């Protein structure tokens, strides 16, 4: 029995026992271009459906026909019909994150309760549950964590990120809330709370990266820090004049103390989980890409392009990066934005990381660029790329198409510049 078959059989066993993450890890070791392509992609799709990522399942199932997997069309159709529900839940999720950012934890809790009411109807993704646990910790209600986790489905309870939260809460009881020695420290910590909250929100939200400000998450944090630093002097002046203030200022001070407690809860969680900017950026980009794909499926290419562009701008060296750029190009084509498309072709082909070098879209992009060059009358460069396609992708439909185009170019149907 070869290694690939061993991985596949182990993965199927994991699926039967509801160990979906383990199944995905095994299936991702198999080169789907080598053998058992349809069966492996079918299993990858099933695993993604069961952990709340139907859009990813549909991607894996593209190109599989009924002769390879029985009832694949029915599975695609049923999965596609669920996308609208997931899109609605992601919108509620984004609303909850915005409420958290505005310190409206009560309404945020209501939003998460609405989301989690679907957990017995459809599989929900990890970020929904993790976001809810984060909210509980920020509210200082860590004593409820164990009971909440026990109500989660098995694939969520077993996830290592959920287990880490549970274990660290258990070992840090009584140490989360700490008193500060001065009012000024409390005021200063409020600023840190705002900065930390902006970083945590980046883990979960899918609409937060503004165009022109998303080269890296740490630049957002730096900008926020500068913004809040200007407020520190204002807080200090308020503290110096505290005795002369009326009861309204005292009320604000009490509210600030509450925010400090929430900040300490959040800071303890971040420290315990060892959160770093690179990990945050990866999760931000993936979540934004998924939101864009939902809009793409609904033919809303303008919004899809916006989300794909945001995902792409965060980073180009993640597993979803080639998907995001490919679908950004397709969205721009639907919008007839030809100038951007031309530049994006070059950007895609210029990437040298492994995700782009082995991307299943690379030959498609080469062929699309060829067709663009031919339309512009640049037959010389078109011929060079046609040779690359035939040499690097023999047996693929793109190679066959390139042969047809080469005959027309060489035969004079298209003129050289």
Residue 237 has pLDDT above 80, yes or no: no
Give the domain range for residue 28. Answer: 3-81
Give tens-digit pLDDT for 176-195: 444 443 433 444 444 444 43
- Residue 143 sits in the same domain as residue 261: yes
Per-residue buried b or exposed e for 396-408, using 16+ beta carbons within 10 Å of the residue's own CB: bebbebbeebbee
- Residue 317 sits in the same domain as residue 266: no
CATH, residue 347: 1.25.40.10
- Residue 217 sits in the same domain as residue 141: yes
Q: What is the spatial distance between Cα 304 and Cα 297, in angstroms, rounded to a whole number?
A: 9
Residue 337 inside a domain? The answer is yes
Residue 370 inside a domain? The answer is yes
Give tens-digit pLDDT for 62-81: 888 878 887 888 888 889 98
- Which residue did the predictor score with more confidence, 134 or 415? 134
Residue 141 inside a domain? The answer is yes
Give tens-digit pLDDT for 129-162: 999 998 888 888 888 888 899 999 999 998 888 8
Q: What is the pLDDT of residue 73?
A: 87
* Average pLDDT of span 335-350: 90
Total count of domains within the chain: 3
- Residue 145 sits in the same domain as residue 46: no
Q: What is the pLDDT of residue 365?
A: 93
Q: What is the spatial distance between Cα 23 and Cα 48, in angstroms, rounded to a whole number?
A: 10
- On average, the pLDDT of the chain sits at 76
Q: What is the pLDDT of residue 110?
A: 93
Residue 335 inside a domain? The answer is yes
Categorise residue 250: left if φ over 0, alpha if ψ from -120 to 50, beta otherwise: alpha
Boundary residue ending a domain (81, 103, 129): 81
Residue 280 inside a domain? The answer is no
Q: Which of 256, 270, 266, 271 lies closest to 186, judged by CA? A: 256
Residue 286 inside a domain? The answer is no
- Residue 215 sits in the same domain as residue 256: yes
Q: What is the pLDDT of residue 328?
A: 95
Residue 41 has pLDDT above 50, yes or no: yes
Q: What is the pLDDT of residue 149?
A: 92
Report the predicted TM-score, pTM, of the whole model to 2 decimal places: 0.47
- Residue 337 sits in the same domain as residue 254: no
CATH, residue 58: 1.25.40
- Residue 362 sits in the same domain as residue 313: yes
């Amino acid at each position: 029995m070869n290694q690939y078959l061993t991985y596949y059989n182990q993965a199927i066993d994991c699926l039967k026992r509801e160990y979906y993450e383990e199944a995905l890890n095994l299936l991702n070791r198999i080169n789907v271009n080598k053998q058992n392509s349809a069966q492996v992609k079918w299993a990858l799709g099933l695993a993604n459906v069961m952990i709340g990522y139907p859009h990813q399942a549909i991607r894996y199932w593209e190109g599989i026909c009924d002769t390879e997997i029985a009832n694949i069309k029915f599975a695609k159709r049923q999965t596609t019909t669920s996308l609208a529900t997931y899109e609605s839940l992601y919108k509620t999720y984004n609303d909850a994150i915005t409420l958290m950012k505005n310190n409206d934890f009560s309404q945020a809790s209501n939003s998460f309760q609405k989301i989690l009411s679907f957990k017995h109807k459809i599989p929900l993704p990890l970020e929904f549950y993790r976001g809810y646990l984060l909210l509980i910790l920020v509210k200082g209600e860590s004593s409820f964590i164990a009971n909440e986790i026990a109500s989660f489905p098995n694939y969520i309870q077993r996830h290592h990120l959920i287990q880490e939260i549970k274990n660290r809460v258990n070992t840090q009881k009584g140490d989360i809330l700490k008193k500060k020695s001065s009012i000024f420290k409390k005021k200063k910590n409020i600023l840190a709370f705002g900065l930390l909250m902006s970083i945590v929100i980046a883990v979960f939200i899918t609409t937060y990266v503004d165009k022109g400000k998303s080269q890296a998450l740490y630049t957002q944090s730096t900008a926020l820090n500068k913004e809040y630093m200007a407020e520190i002097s204002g807080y200090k002046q308020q503290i110096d004049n505290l005795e002369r203030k009326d009861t309204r200022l005292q009320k604000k001070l009490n509210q600030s103390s509450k925010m400090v407690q929430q900040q300490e809860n959040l800071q303890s969680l971040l420290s315990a989980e060892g959160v770093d900017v690179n990990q945050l950026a990866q999760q931000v980009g993936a979540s934004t890409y998924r939101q864009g794909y939902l809009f793409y499926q609904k033919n809303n290419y303008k919004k899809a392009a916006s989300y794909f562009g945001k995902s792409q701008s965060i980073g180009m060296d993640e597993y979803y990066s080639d998907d995001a750029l490919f679908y950004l190009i397709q969205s721009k084509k639907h919008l007839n934005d030809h100038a951007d498309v031309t530049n994006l072709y070059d950007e895609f082909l210029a990437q040298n990381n492994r995700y782009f070098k082995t991307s299943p879209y690379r030959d498609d992009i080469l062929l699309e660029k060829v067709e663009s060059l031919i339309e512009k009358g640049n037959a010389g460069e078109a011929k060079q790329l046609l040779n690359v396609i035939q040499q690097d992708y023999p047996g693929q439909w793109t190679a066959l198409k390139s042969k047809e185009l080469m005959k027309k170019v060489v035969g004079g149907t298209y003129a050289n510049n």
